[in-house]
Amino acid sequence: MRGAIKPARHGAQAWRVGLQVLLAAVIGGLIYGAFINAADNLARTHISSGFGFWNNSAGFDISQTLIPYSPGISTFGRAFWVGLLNTLFVAALGIVLATLLGFTIGIARLSRNWLVARLAGFYVELIRNIPLLLQLLFWYNAVLKSLPELRDSIVLPMGGFLNNRGLFLPRPVFAPGFSAVIAALLVGIGAAIVLQVWARRRRKRSGAPTPVGRWIAALLVGLPLAALALAGFPVAFELPQMSRFNVVGGLEILPEFAALVVALSVYTAAFIAEVVRAGILAVAAGQTEAAQALGLRSGTTLRLIVVPQAVRVMVPPLTSQYLNLTKNSSLAVAIGYPDLVQVFAGSVLNITGQAVEVIAITMAVYLTISLFTSLVMNLYGRMTAIVER
Amino acid sequence: MAVIADTPVLYVRTAPAEQLLPPPASSGLIGWLRANLFSSFGNTVLTLACAALILWAVPPLLRFLFIDAVWSGSDREVCLASSAHLEPGACWAFVRVWLSYFVYGFYPIPGRWRVDVFFAALAFGIGWLAWLSAPRRDLGAVYFFIVLPVLSVVLLYGFPAIGLPTVPTNLWGGVLVTIVVATVGIVASLPIGILLALGRRSELPAVRWLAIGFIEFVRGVPLITVLFMASVMLPLFVPQRLEPDKLLRALIGVAVFASAYTAEVVRGGLAAVPRGQYEAARALALTYWPTMGLVILPQALRVTLPNIVNTFIGLFKDTTLVFVVGIFDFLRTIEAARGDPKWATPVTATTGYAFAALFYFIFCYGMSRYARSVEARLSRSDRR
């Protein structure tokens, strides 16, 4: 559409250039002014500037670390990576759960079963219209914090505990032989892909139905299981031990983490459900009718006709929901889960006082994730654009 | 032949047969149930599972919210489990006692009428703009975007010269702050967003790239970091004597954030205006601003009104995040009141959250119904 509006008068060219120069000058002036003021204010409050703090040791503890971190020894840079990994971890888990829940509910909304459709609609309306922060606080303060005290812990089967300090599960300890199982799993995945490609080619070439689902399942599940048995079950479980004041050992899932994952997945699932519903409805009814006219059964119609077309519509909004989830994980700061914002824009900022650098780094991380995702999306859009004949 | 002609034809009807009712299994209540709930084995299982879910969840919820709830009292004693009250329900007494704090924060009690007048003036403005066939909606826009902001500052912050003592913003709180943040967000973001959207479609490269840079930057980062930026970096960037107060900083952050999202929504509306409209405007020798202001924007904004309302719903929910920079919005006042030892019971948190959820749900759901009705109206007018 750009270019539709041409300057109406001749000789407007100079004016247009002038306007842009003026705009650039105003913006530049504002930035320069802000810079002068910032230098002035920083000098007065004796806050150093630059990124030198990155290698200074951070004196604070972090409650959940995926990589080794020790207060007093590890650097602020290390704390940054801990926070970033925690953010990515919670986002990844949230994305998986939200997708599963969201697809279920989105499909349920289109169900011919009145009750199922209504329940799914109720879920979507309820969840979408209540702020995420409120839901997060609810899960954290009203649900998880009201679990029993340590001494009245709920004892789970297999030696786990659940109390208001978190969920304590047996931790798998892998013996060296476990790498064989992972290798078997990788081989299984590879073989399954090859099999699937072969089956599809065969079907396209000869039209003969080539059901390989069972074989793929066997490859994916059976191969690792067989390796596990052959290697003599090289995995042991370290059980959490309840002592008087705390629980030692085992795998500890913080209530902050659990609350964040639950809140993010429940909230985002409502939006994903809408994306899924819109995506399925976007497939023209004639497509389904044509498939039925060709004698395809409803399952096959769904798998071969509706889903491939719906996915193309669904992927861009779905990605933007995933991005929203990742950005929303910054709400962790409200309940004290050590994500990037809490660790970096919280603790590190408070200790160093270097607001400009710390906020800039934090924003740069989210910006990188967003821009990278939209780049991938643009490529995807170009790849899947319908070629008009 | 004659024999046949004389005998009466017994097997031919002379009158139409009486109409039969449809089989009971395919009509009426039973038919509906069969078609919608029990059409197959799988469907029956699903229906029963859903019914079980409802039976499992709804009665305890009703018991908690209404039957076992405590509606009045002066301290936590009434809401604790006792022999007369084995399963304590929601502690609405807590909400009743703290209600004025939830609405006004620490706004001085003699001045609270000012807040009420502000709410009324705002409701009037929203009603004027939201009612699509209201008279003089152009005046409504002037009222909402120019008169109301000035009036609100005078009313809420005060203007000692006309006898309204100054109320510093750190005393504001509760619903007042939530509404102020949301309103400032929409009032500031709509004009800025429109300018940004036009900038993004401008053919002047400097303008276009500035708009794109701003929009993509803000949309790429979480609101929390924008708020952090506004609250810790903004004071650095201005001379010390101009340092904005805490609420103002959060308002700037929210306005910046909302502008970028509104810009994208408006851009969608601009893209929906057919090319012929631009060409027609050109044919009438209109220059850029008259083309936009008289031809393009009125159409674009009309199409995009539902999306603007949806953006506003998101903004309204996002106002809760000002929490993290220490502003006492509605949710934060509930958090604060929840910590009151006088009301510390196991059900206080849940009650507070239920109350907050009700508040946000009513507003957001109302707005989304409105957006849908506008959308339906627009698609009706497009079908003509």
Q: Which two tokens stand for residue B34?
A: 């069969």
Write out pLDDT tens, residues A293-348: 999 887 888 888 888 888 888 888 899 999 999 999 999 999 989 999 998 888 88
Q: Do B37 and A119 touch (CB under 8 A)?
A: no
Nearest to A38 among B220, B237, B361 (CB): B237
Cβ atoms of residues B158 and B167 within 8 Å: yes
User: CB–CB of B181/B322 below 8 Å?
Assistant: yes
CATH of the domain at A80: 1.10.3720.10
Beta strand extents in A187-298 (DSSP E only):
235-238, 241-242, 247-248, 251-253
Residue A146 with chain B: CB contacts under 8 Å: 346, 349
For the stretch B17-71, pLDDT in tens is 888 887 777 777 888 888 888 888 888 898 999 999 999 999 988 888 888 888 8
Q: Containing H/E element for A155?
A: strand A154-156
Chain-chain contact of A134 with B236 (C-beta, under 8 angstroms): no
Q: Which of A26, A87, A115, A326 to mutate to test the interface with B (most CBs of B within 10 A)?
A: A115
The pLDDT of residue A205? 86
pLDDT for A328: 94
Q: What is the DSSP string of A204-232?
A: HHH------HHHHHIIIIIHHHHHHHHTT
DSSP conformational letter for A170: P
Q: What is the pLDDT of residue A117?
A: 92
Q: Is A250 helix (H, G, I), strand (E, B) or coil?
A: coil
Q: Do B46 and A116 touch (CB under 8 A)?
A: yes
DSSP category for residue B172? B
pLDDT for residue B1 is more than 60: no
Residue in the block written with tokens 């629980």: A247
Tell me if A231 is assigned to some domain.
Answer: no
Does the distance separating the beta carbons of B236 and A38 come in below 8 Å?
yes
Contacts of A159 (CB under 8 A, 6+ apart): A170, A237, A239, A240, A250
Residue ranges, comma separated, of all CATH 1.10.3720.10 domains in chain B are 98-107+167-383
Partners of A328 on chain B (C-beta within 8 Å) are 222
Report the alpha-carbon angle B110-B103-A125, nearest 5: 160
In chain A, whose CA is at the least distance from the CA of B347?
A142
Query: Cβ(B69)–Cβ(B354) under 8 Å?
Result: no
To the nearest whole Å, the CA of A62 is away from the closest chain B CA by 19
CB < 8 Å to B223, chain A = 327
Chain B residue with Cα closest to A328: B222
Query: Per residue in B260-312, pLDDT tens?
Result: 999 999 999 998 889 899 999 989 999 888 999 899 998 888 888 888 888 99
What strand order describes the sheet that includes A160-163? A154-156, A160-163, A166-169, A251-253
* Interchain CB distance below 8 Å, A129 and B368: yes
pLDDT-based confidence at residue B384 (cuts at 50, 70, 90): low
DSSP three-state, residue A166? strand
Give which of B58, B201, B237 to mutate to test A binding, by max A Cβ within 10 Å.
B237
Cα nearest neighbour of B44 on chain A: A113
The position carrying tokens 């004025």 is B100
Could you read off the pLDDT of B240-257 as tens digits, one per residue?
777 788 899 999 999 999
Spatial contact of A243 and A148, defined as CB atoms under 8 Å apart: no
Collapsing DSSP to helix, strand or coil, A174 comes out as: strand
Interface A-B, measured as beta-carbon pairs within 8 A, has a size of: 178
Q: Compare CB distances from A125 to B53, B220, B365 and report the shortest one's residue.
A: B365
CB contacts, 8 Å: A1 with chain B: 201, 270-271, 275, 278
DSSP labels, B257-319: HHHHHHHHHHHHHHHHS-HHHHHHHHHTT--HHHIIIIIIHHHHHHHHHHHHHHHHHHHHHHG
* Nearest C-alpha in A relative to B207: A20
Check: CB of residue B91 under 8 Å from CB of residue B111: no
State the nearest Cα–Cα gap between B24 and chain A, in angstroms.
Answer: 20
Q: Which residues does chain A have within 8 Å of residue B207's beta carbon, measured at their own beta carbons? A: 19-20, 23
Residue among B40, B219, B223, B236 with most chain A CBs within 10 A, to mutate: B236
Rounded to whole angstroms, how far apart are CA atoms A149 and A2?
Answer: 64
Of residues B9 and B266, more confidence is placed in B266
Which of A87, A123, A133 is best to mutate for the B interface (most B CBs within 10 A)?
A: A133
User: What is the chain A residue with the closest CA to B42?
Assistant: A113
Minimum CA–CA partner of B52 in chain A: A115
CA distance B285 to chain A (A): 7
Residue A14 lies in a domain: no
Residue of chain B minimizing CA distance to A329: B222
Within 10 angstroms of residue B221's Cβ, the number of other Cβ atoms is 25
Per-residue model confidence as pLDDT tens digits over B56-99: 999 988 888 888 888 888 888 888 877 767 777 888 888 888 88
Are B46 and A119 within 8 A, CB to CB? no
A264 is a domain residue: yes
The residue ranges of chain A whose pLDDT is under 50 are: 1-3, 7-8
On whether ipTM exceeds 0.85, the answer is yes
B224 or A160, greater pLDDT? B224
Q: Do A116 and B47 touch (CB under 8 A)?
A: yes
Residue A144, domain member (yes or no): yes
Query: What local confidence, expressed as pLDDT, does residue A329 receive?
Result: 93
Answer yes or no: do A115 and B50 touch at CB < 8 A: yes
Q: Contact A370/B237, CB-based, under 8 Å?
A: no
Indicate the DSSP class of residue A11.
Answer: T
Say if the Cβ atoms of A341 and B287 lie within 8 Å: no
What residues of A are in contact with residue B271 (Cβ under 8 Å)?
A: 1
The total number of structural domains that make up chain A: 1
Tokens of B308: 């603007």
Residue A134 within a domain: yes
Residues of A in contact with B318 (CB under 8 A): 131
CA distances from A96 to A264, A272, A309, A322 (A): 11, 12, 22, 10
Would residue A376 count as lying in a domain? yes
Contact (Cβ atoms closer than 8 angstroms) between residue A269 and residue A304: no
Cβ A330–B229 below 8 Å, yes or no? no
Phi first, then psi: give them for residue B252, nearest 5 degrees. Answer: -60, -45
Say if A58 falls within a structural domain. no
**Residue among A2, A13, A20, A144 with most chain B CBs within 10 A, to mutate:** A20
Of A9, A44, A334, the CB nearest to B324: A334
Closest CA in chain A for residue B279:
A4
**d(Cα B192, Cα B198) in Å, to the nearest integer?**
10
Amino acid at B143: Y
Other residues' Cβ atoms within 10 Å of the Cβ of residue B29:
8
Question: In terms of DSSP H, where are the helices of B63-159?
Answer: 92-104, 112-130, 137-142, 148-152
CA distance A29 to A6: 30
Q: Do A23 and B287 touch (CB under 8 A)?
A: no
Among A16, A20, A111, A113, the strongest candidate for a mutation testing the B interface, having the largest count of B CBs within 10 A, is A113
- Distance CA(B304)–CA(B375), nearest Å, equals 9
Q: Is residue A269 part of a domain?
A: yes
Instruction: Verify whether the Cβ–Cβ distance A341 to B225 is below 8 Å.
Output: yes
- Name beta bridge partners: B174: B329
Would you call A341 and B224 a contact, using CB atoms and an 8 Å cutoff? yes
Nearest in space to B265 (alpha carbons), one of B209, B315, B223: B315
Please state the length of chain B.
Answer: 384
3-class DSSP state of A304: helix
Superfamily of domain covering B98-107+167-383: MetI-like (1.10.3720.10)
Question: How many angstroms separate the CA atoms of A310 and A304, rounded?
Answer: 11
CB contact under 8 A, A20 and B271: no
Query: Running DSSP on this structure, what letter comes out for residue A331?
Result: G
Paired with A235 in beta bridges are A174
Residues A358 and A345: beta-carbon distance below 8 Å: yes
Provide the pLDDT for residue A326.
93
Q: CA nearest B205 in A: which residue?
A: A20
β-strand partners of B105: B172
As a whole number of angstroms, the distance between CA A70 and CA B147 comes to: 57
For B50, the closest of A6, A116, A132 (CB atoms) is: A116
Show the domain range for A356. Answer: 76-170+239-384
- Average pLDDT score over residue span B123-130: 89
Query: What is the chain A residue with the closest CA to B230?
Result: A359
Closest CA to B321 of B233, B230, B242: B230
